[in-house]
Amino acid sequence: MATAVMFDRTGGPEVLELREVEVGEPGPGELRIRVDAIGLNRAEALYRRGTYLYDPVFPARLGYEAAGAVEAVGPGVTGFAPGDEVGVVPGFLLTDYGTYGDHVIVPAAVTVPRPAGVPARTAAATWMAYITAYGALAEDGHTRPGDHVLITAASSSVGLAAIQTARRVGAVPVATTRTAAKRQRLLDAGAAHVVVTGEEDVSERVKELTSGRGVRTAFDAVAGPGVEALARAVAPGGRLIVYGALDPRPTPLPNALSLPALTTRTYTLHEVTTDPGRLARAVAFVNAGLADGSFAPVVDRVFDLADIAEAHRYLESNAQVGKVVVTVRH
């Protein structure tokens, strides 16, 4: 028997329960892994609340991301053997799989070898954040050396990964945060500049920082009406990428009559993780950054699996700088 986190209704963290389940053997294209650490993500909190891209199917599981070791290999799977240390990359529906547990079944297609010397806690804080940043800022070459990149919600795990990714491609990361409390942490994390949105006008401050040009790319986790201010901070020919939905209000399409010409688009990391070629490039890019030290995942706080509800409360508190990680005792 295995332990899994499950829930029977949408709601707050209190709906999450630890249950004994039969994990079984992996099927074709699957692996069974022993989970050592789990990275928590905003998407999972939205799914738990019933406000995600799709609705839970009850009894529902949770979890896109984990680090552990292969226990069993399903039919037709090559490249993995029992004992291999691996990480699970978000590339499946939460209605089909989940990583919140001590032993779980996952698709082999979105399981990657854990880089040598990278502990489970660090690996669990890596893939969602860095693949999201890679797909938006590095995959198609739009963001070039010397370009400025505006990164909202920059103290999140994706925001910090975006700061490091921008630097790795030679760009200049400009981070935003709502209050000055996290300013120094963001500068220490590699941001060239920090805009405090509760005190400064984003577009005006960005224009000051870029000698009036604006940023080549705005990478936005918030959405909502604030995208209009971000659009005004984008240089002509630049790009506004909306990848999150922290603001549940409608997100307007920027008005072409009052803004420079720019491209706006939505984005999720599934564009990368569900495409084998793009995923292979992303994994190579992230592993290279881990190897040379330019990528250093930030773990803000670690919880035990038994405290998963408290971990979700902390995730939704917005107090963290970096990743919230859950560890599993065996």
Residues 177 and 223 in one domain: yes
Say if pTM beats, i.e. exceeds, 0.85.
yes
The pLDDT of residue 96 is above 80: yes
Mean pLDDT of the chain: 94
For residues 26-47, give the mean pLDDT: 96
CATH code (residue 183): 3.40.50.720
CATH code (residue 46): 3.90.180.10
pLDDT single digits (tens) 256-277: 666 778 899 999 999 999 999 9
Residues 121 and 106 in one domain: yes
Q: What is the per-residue pLDDT for 330?
A: 83
pLDDT single digits (tens) 105-127: 999 999 999 888 889 999 999 99
Tell me whether residue 221 is in a domain.
yes
Residues 139 and 195 in one domain: yes
Residues 265 and 135 in one domain: yes
Residues 117 and 135 in one domain: no
100, 38 contact by CB (below 8 A):
yes
**Percentage of residues of the chain with pLDDT beyond 90:** 88
Overall domain count for the chain: 2
Residues 137 and 266 in one domain: yes
Model confidence at 320, pLDDT cuts 50, 70, 90, reads: confident
For residues 226-245, give the mean pLDDT: 93
pLDDT single digits (tens) 55-67: 999 999 999 999 9
Q: What is the per-residue pLDDT for 279?
A: 95
Model confidence at 168, pLDDT cuts 50, 70, 90, reads: very high
The residue segments making up the domain with residue 179 are 129-270
Tell me whether residue 276 is in a domain.
no
Q: What is the per-residue pLDDT for 254?
A: 76
Residues 141 and 212 in one domain: yes
Tell me whether residue 289 is in a domain.
no
